[in-house]
Amino acid sequence: MAVKTAPNAQPIKNGDREDETRVLPRRTRELRRDGRVGAVSSQSRRRFVLESVGLVLGATLLTAGVLEVSLRLLGVETASYHSIGGFTVYDPELGWKLAPARTTIFKGQHFSVRVVHNADGLRDREYRHERSPGRRRILVLGDSVTWCWGVERDECFTERMEALLPDTDVINAGVPGYSTAQELLYYERDGRRYDADVVLLVMSPNDPTDNISRRVPRFRLKNGGLQLGNVPVPRRKTKARQWLQAHSRLYAHVSYLAGAVKHGFLARWTAPAAPQPMEPAVAAAREGVGAAPPPAQESIRAEAVHVEPAAATQGFVPAEPERDSEAWTLTEALLQRLAARVQADGARFAIVLEAMPDPMRRWLLARCASWGVPCLDTAPALGKAERTGFQVRLDGDPHLAAAGQEVLTREILAMLERERLLP
């Protein structure tokens, strides 16, 4: 039976034989002869790829939109597993600062606390820069210890101090991850506007090494003075990530889950088989005697949190820099400049020391004595409270729990009275 062919079609030869089942229309033969068949096929493939990408992107955006709306309707609050990533915004001069007017749930593997920042980007209530007549004012600078990592705001030592001091504002200006250099620059630009009577600086043992980090404003000693570099400070997160963290509950929730999975996995594989012994110097610092017994314990929160940049066991202290290293000399110069700035503003300056290696503690106490700056060593009181049975620190974490916040409150109030710092 003969095979019917299309009009204007001709058979195609295959070798010496004619394939009567394969025929080409005249238009196809003309396109092939002119070399345009490949171009048409390429355009079709590009169109197909673009349409496929568009469909996938549209479906992804629609799904993300539905999830975003669902999270808001269900009342799922923004949460973060990272104190800097979830609670700060970029600042070219300081590196980062607390995000103004932000409410976020700070979650770890075993704790969840609400963190509320005021309009000025402080974890505190709203304060006017001008003091009310008849009121005194204390400004507290520091890092995550001052920010009161892992506890509710009403458990924080600054809140306790304000509740116990009559007619006194106690302003918490702590920012997670801050170095002494950042605390100095913050005071010079923003902190001094609060017109405080007393400025307290809470120092942590990692401050000297943080002062020479590439992630912060980098001072260098030159010609007998401090020269500022590394400004603008490199971003820790992109503009897009910062915007999404502030405006998308879906992004914040996914980021939290990713952080929880990541750090939970790392903790599982890096956790020691048994608690590591505390450094002898730190243990000795905490074994101080002579402090009054801690007040009655109310509701101690025994919570475990994620510690950045690395998970730490209780009693963790970072490696101590060499005595003659730049970290020590630079820290000394930064403290002197901060003390001079505060005193020039007509305020009193004092330093509060967290538990740290004994050489660092003795070095700082000696420097404070030579400058005439009151310096409070909190290690003896915290150590005695620990030996008495109070859990002053969070599980697996060096930050202070509620009982530690109470001890710190009592010790600072005693120093204020002993040194007659308040008018």
Map residue 22 onto helix, strand or coil. Answer: strand
User: Does residue 409 surpass a pLDDT of 70?
Assistant: yes
State pLDDT tens for residues 276-310.
444 444 444 444 433 333 333 333 332 323 333 33
Pick the CATH number of 133-233+281-418 from 3.40.50.1110, 3.40.50.80, 3.40.228.10, 3.30.470.10: 3.40.50.1110
pLDDT at residue 29 in the model: 56
Structure tokens at 188: 């010079």
- Does the reported pTM lie above 0.85? no
Sign of the alpha-carbon dihedral angle for 32, 34, 36, 38:
positive
What's residue 244's pLDDT?
76
Question: Which of 51-60, 223-232, 315-324 is modeled with the greatest confidence?
Answer: 223-232
Q: Which residues have C-beta within 8 Å of that of residue 91, sequence separation ≥ 6?
A: 97, 233
Strands of the sheet with 112-116, listed across from one edge: 79-80, 103-107, 112-116
Is the pLDDT at 352 greater than 80? The verdict is yes
> Would you list the domain boundaries of the chain?
133-233+281-418
Contact call for residues 326 and 334 (beta carbons, < 8 A): no
Closest CA to 171 of 197, 149, 152: 197
For 71-112, the three-class secondary structure string (H helix, E strand, C coil) is: HHHCCCCCEECCHHHHHEEEECCCEEEECCCCEEEEECCCCE
Q: What is the mean pLDDT of residues 23-29?
A: 57
Work out the number of other CB atoms within 10 angstroms of the CB of residue 309.
Answer: 9
When the pLDDT of each residue in the chain is averaged and rounded to a whole number, the result is: 79
Provide the pLDDT for residue 308.
36
pLDDT at 272 over 90: no
Q: What is the pLDDT of residue 40?
A: 57
Comparing 28 with 96, which gets the higher pLDDT?
96
* Helices (H), ranges, 16-79: 26-34, 37-73
Percent of the chain surpassing pLDDT 70: 67
What is the per-residue pLDDT for 109? Answer: 66
Asked if the model's pLDDT at residue 65 lies above 60, the reply is yes
Find which of 109-123, 175-189, 235-249 is predicted with most confidence, using mean pLDDT. 175-189
Bigger pLDDT: 323 or 295?
A: 323
Task: Give SS3 for 321.
Answer: coil
Over residues 167-216, the pLDDT tens digits come to: 999 999 999 999 999 999 999 999 999 999 999 999 999 999 999 999 99
